[in-house]
Amino acid sequence: MRVLVIEDDGQVRDAVVIALRSAGLAVDEAACWSHAELNLTMNAYDCLVLDRMLSDGDSADQLYRLRRRGLAVPALMLTAMDDVRDRVAGFEAGADDYVAKPFSTAELVQRVRALCRRNGATRPTVLRVDDIEVDAARRQVRRAGVLLTVTPKEFSVLEMLLIHHPAVVSRSELIEHCWDEMADPASNVVDVIIAQLRRKLGEPQIITTVRGAGYRLAATERK
């Protein structure tokens, strides 16, 4: 899941970005709307986290304009403006959730995850392929009923493979959705995570490499 955080207060932005990345989400950040719009034209996001008042305008106005242009990505507004009229104005502009400052980063992470799941509302919470089960709500992975310990990044990559099963998922798609703009597309980060997943999932191997195309999950037969 990939999130765009738009916040001009450096300390607040850093706290939000660190909390979301620690929870396994890929996060891009912007300090103003001009930078944010560039991100939106280049990347696909599962959720926006935006400060209500930025140096270059009211985010409610900007969000309303983007909604009219067809932007459907769920948006959570952060604000020190906690008056009921301000919250109503945010919702009328197209916000899906509203969090007043100061806020709990733990609660913010859960609210962002909920919005990301809403963005894929037609997708079941628990995904299954063969004997692999991924529970998006609990962030748990099981194989043959056994709970496995995986890192947030391993979870994100495996979830992507299950979502797109039986199609092949390219390296660039994995980087786009599971990493943020800090990732180097030429690095071997995807290969490392795939190798770790294969080791943790054990035999028989279910993640296959499609040469020149990417990775996919293949049904297996246990002996």
CB atoms within 10 A of CB 107: 10
Q: CA of 165: how far to CAs of 77, 127, 168, in Å?
A: 34, 10, 7
Inter-residue contact 170 to 213 (CB < 8 Å): yes
CATH architecture, range 126-217: Orthogonal Bundle (1.10)
Please tell me if the domain spanning 2-119 has the same topology as the one spanning 126-217.
Answer: no
Q: Where are the domains of the chain?
A: 2-119, 126-217
Cα angle for residues 157, 216, 159 (degrees, 5° grid): 30
3.40.50.2300, 3.40.50.2000, 3.40.630.30, 1.10.150.120: CATH of 2-119: 3.40.50.2300
pLDDT by position in tens, the chain (length 223): 889 999 999 999 999 999 998 888 889 999 998 899 888 988 889 899 999 888 888 888 999 998 888 888 999 999 887 778 888 888 888 999 988 888 899 999 989 988 987 765 556 678 889 999 998 777 889 999 999 999 988 998 999 899 888 889 998 888 888 887 666 656 788 999 999 999 999 999 999 999 888 999 986 654 4
